[in-house]
Amino acid sequence: MIPEGSLLSAHDLRKTYGSTPALDGASFSVHPGEVVAVMGPSGSGKSTLLHCLAGIVNPDSGTITYAGRELSAMSDAERSALRRSDFGFVFQFGQLVPELTCVENVALPLRLNGVKRKAAERTALEWMERLEVDGLGGKRPGEVSGGQGQRVAVARALAGSPKVIFADEPTGALDSLNGERVMELLTEAARSSHVAVVLVTHEARVAAFSDRDVTVRDGRAHNLEYSA
Ligand SMILES: Nc1ncnc2c1ncn2[C@@H]1O[C@H](COP(=O)(O)OP(=O)(O)O)[C@@H](O)[C@H]1O
Ligand SMILES: [Mg+2]
């Protein structure tokens, strides 16, 4: 049932909102350090799949296994702790905390994991350097461009040393040049740190940065096997 060697896998997920089926038997898996793109048109259940995989949304049925543990067997507190320690997130519109500076935003996952401010901000600045936004540390999200904000968001996703990054349309609000650079930096950093990436996108040029892609049709993630 669990594909051999996978870090995170979902089997036969179903989720319905009212009478709208969002997931209708979706299966999926990702290996450690692998970058997988989940493709599909708008409304095909991509974000729902990602939210289920990250333990944010509970599926109606089906199983999700992370590092040998079933998410549904954990308490809410255990799932939250897992999200903080092992997962990073990048959304379409950065979702940086507007009141914090960029460096404070990047340091946030470390601070939540108990790292002291100075050490957290030092690590944050190292990631910002890799993402080519180290000059923006003192600025607030409202003072930087969309592309810069997304690089800060990627740095934040990486700063807590996650095992998996969930990226939902991370370049959806960017022009193609900025979008490609963000994808380049995200996938380079993830690969060199052996972080798995679950990348949700409806754009083939974004999916081109992945090691493998799966397509959601009618709420089914195909290509569960490692043949594609
Ligand atoms: N919180 C929600 N409440 C009601 N319907 C939702 C909710 N989230 C998603 N849906 C519905 O589920 C379907 C799949 O949505 P979603 O997973 O967001 O697709 P995608 O990310 O591929 O665009 C859509 O029909 C959407 O309207
Ligand atoms: Mg979506």
Cα–Cα–Cα angle for 149, 155, 157, rounded to 5 degrees:
105
Contacts for 114-122: CB closer than 8 Å, 24+ residues apart:
120/159
For 63-102, how does the pLDDT look when each residue is reduced to its tens digit (9 = 90+)? 999 999 999 999 999 999 999 999 999 988 878 999 999 9
Band the pLDDT of 153: cuts 50, 70, 90: very high
Q: Which amino acid residue places its CA nearest to atom 18 of ligand 1?
A: 47
Question: How many CB atoms are located within 10 Å of the residue 215 CB?
Answer: 17
Give the pLDDT score at 173.
Answer: 86
63 strand-pairing partners: 11
CB 23 within 8 A of CB 48: yes
Ligand nearest to the CA of 91: 2
Beta carbon of 171 within 6 Å of any ligand 1 atom = no
**Which residues are found with C-beta within 5 Å of the ion, ligand 2?**
47
For 7-60, how does the pLDDT look when each residue is reduced to its tens digit (9 = 90+)? 999 999 999 999 888 998 899 999 999 999 999 888 899 999 999 999 999 999
Residue 90's φ and ψ, nearest 5 degrees, are -130, 125
Q: Is the pLDDT of residue 227 over 50?
A: no
Q: Is the pLDDT of residue 224 over 60?
A: no
Q: How many residues does the chain have?
A: 228
CB 214 within 8 A of CB 46: no
By most ligand atoms within 8 Å of CB, the mutation choice from 14, 20, 169, 200 for ligand 1 is 20
Q: Is the pLDDT of residue 228 over 60?
A: no
Ligand nearest to the CA of 59: 1
Beta carbon of 45 within 6 Å of any ligand 1 atom = yes
CB 13 within 8 A of CB 26: yes
By most ligand atoms within 8 Å of CB, the mutation choice from 16, 47, 48, 203 for ligand 1 is 48
Between the CA of 46 and the centroid of ligand 2 the distance, in Å, is 5
Helices (H), the chain: 46-53, 76-86, 102-112, 117-130, 146-159, 176-192, 204-207
Give the pLDDT score at 222.
Answer: 67
Give the pLDDT score at 192.
Answer: 92
Band the pLDDT of 174: cuts 50, 70, 90: confident
The full set of domains in the chain, from first to last, is 1-86+191-228 (3.40.50.300)
Q: Is the pLDDT of residue 127 over 80?
A: yes
For 175-195, how does the pLDDT look when each residue is reduced to its tens digit (9 = 90+)? 898 899 999 999 999 999 999
Beta carbon of 43 within 6 Å of any ligand 1 atom = yes
User: What's the distance, CA 213 to chain centroid?
Assistant: 15
Beta carbon of 40 within 6 Å of any ligand 1 atom = yes
Between the CA of 95 and the centroid of ligand 2 the distance, in Å, is 15
